[in-house]
Structure 1
Amino acid sequence: MTTSEHIVREEGPVTLLGGGEVFAGDIEAALALAPTCVAADSGAAAAVAAGVELAAVIGDLDSAPAEVLAQIPAARRHRIAEQESTDFDKALTRIDAPLVLGVGFTGARLDHQLAAFNTLATHPHRSCILLGAHEIVLLAPPRITLPTTAGDVVSLMPLAPVTGRSQGLEWPIDGLDFAPGGRIGTSNRALGPVTLEIDGPDMLLILPRRLMAPLAAQLLRPEHAPWPARA
């Protein structure tokens, strides 16, 4: 068992593979931006199948097939035995990198997908983009300008009561109170580039998949200010 807070430390972004659906081109697209690859438990199977070298596999290691784990050096297998968190949570919190690109955390089981979204909100100081079949999902940072074009769908889904402001959306969010069970902001549309200011680390941002690379570049800029860790 590994007890170190950080298992993988990188100055650049890291690709993290999960056991959900991995769509065509996902791994290649993520590795082009984040060449260091880590697996969360059963995500190791996707890495081995794709011939991708893993810096580490992290989790309770009860889902990855034994024949897959046997192909990964023992020193890179990190078993975290506690059952209070998901494998995505275990892996994300043990990666010290400016950005994580998550592949295989959407699709497949809906409960796993919802748990991944919860992990994004639980650890808002860890910048992470989840790659889906057609969209990317991330926790909206305090302020960001999106490289959208007119007609792009920009969806906002609150995980707790939250407010914000916008420029460049067809339906501005200024003065609106968002909350689960109340107002949500899905299927808004961009008029061009969109600037968002969000008042708390509780809003999911869902964007077209093609924006992953330019959005990742923005999150890696020195002037980008992520959320602080929750108390």
Structure 2
Amino acid sequence: MIVEESQTVTLVGAGSATKAEIDRCLALGPTLVAADGGAAHCLAADHLPTAVIGDMDSLPADMRAHIPADRVHPVGEQDSTDFDKALRNISAALVLGVGFTGARLDHQLACYNVLVRQPWQRCILLSDTDIAFLAPPRLQLSLQAGTRVSLFPLGLVEGVSDGLKWPIGGLTFTPDGRIGTSNEALGDIDVTVTGPKMLVILPQAELENVAAALSAQPGGWPAP
């Protein structure tokens, strides 16, 4: 592992990211890591990343010159995205990803693919409107009644729920079949899923709430 932390880590990508969003994540995860060109966002926000991980094809040379050489960790293979390269080289209780949405839809979709392929990593992706994360085996959250709770399958998955307006028990979800977007919380929710295939999407206002819950709840998808 390039970065090993017992607490939360903030990971910044080269997509859309504001200083306010980076600072918000840093308040929860003070260790700052950049995925390749995400280092430019870090420097623009007056933060020096602890590590920069990626193939280094999107970090301008003048920006790279501001980062100590021992903090730059090139990963040269081209079969994965910079988000993939960075996430698999971080060991942390939770990773908060900012800068992985907004700029290009294909990059955003690729990030969701990585969440499914690295299900042992607890990671929340923040956008200007939403947060998205892979549902753990059991998810318990305290939410206000009426909060939007969207469940989007990235593979075949089933589950049961308590506290959702439309329960999911007895349903089979697939990307090309039934999906579970625009559900609502009645209050506290308790959702259990059969496998690491369900993306949970909530309003971005819930970032701190979800980060605290995922950090505190034991049990996750096993590492290989």
TM range (shorter): over 0.9
Q: Who is 1:219 aligned against?
A: 214
SS at match of 1:227: coil
TM-score, scaled to structure 1: 0.95
Q: Who is 2:36 aligned against?
A: 41
Within the candidate set 179, 187, 199, 2:182 is matched to 187
Within the candidate set 47, 50, 74, 1:52 is matched to 47
Deviation at 1:216, TM superposition (A): 1.0
In structure 2, give the amino acid aligned to 1:85. S
SS at match of 1:220: helix
Deviation at 1:24, TM superposition (A): 5.9
Q: Who is 2:125 aligned against?
A: 130
Deviation at 1:106, TM superposition (A): 1.1
C-alpha distance in 2, partners of 1:106/1:224?
28
TM-score, scaled to structure 2: 0.98
Q: Who is 2:81 aligned against?
A: 86
1:200 is aligned to 2:201: no
Q: Who is 2:115 aligned against?
A: 120
Within the candidate set 147, 172, 178, 2:142 is matched to 147
Deviation at 1:210, TM superposition (A): 1.5
Q: Who is 1:10 aligned against?
A: 5
In structure 1, give the amino acid aligned to 2:180. G
Within the candidate set 144, 149, 153, 1:158 is matched to 153
C-alpha distance in 1, partners of 2:198/2:101?
17
Deviation at 1:23, TM superposition (A): 4.0
SS at match of 1:54: coil
Question: For 1:70-114, what per-residue CA distance to the aligned partner results, in whole angstroms no more than 9, with x for missing partners?
Answer: 100000000000011100000000011110000001111000000
Residues 23 and 133, structure 1, Cα contact 8 Å, conserved in 2: no
Instruction: Note the residue ranges of structure 2 that are not aligned, 5 or more in a row.
Output: none
SS at match of 2:100: coil
Deviation at 1:208, TM superposition (A): 1.3
C-alpha distance in 2, partners of 1:10/1:44?
19
Question: For 1:105-160, what per-residue CA distance to the aligned partner results, in whole angstroms no more than 9, with x for missing partners?
Answer: 11110000000000000000010000011110000010011121111100000000
How large is the Cα RMSD of the aligned pairs?
A: 1.0
Residues 101 and 131, structure 1, Cα contact 8 Å, conserved in 2: yes
In structure 1, give the amino acid aligned to 2:107. H
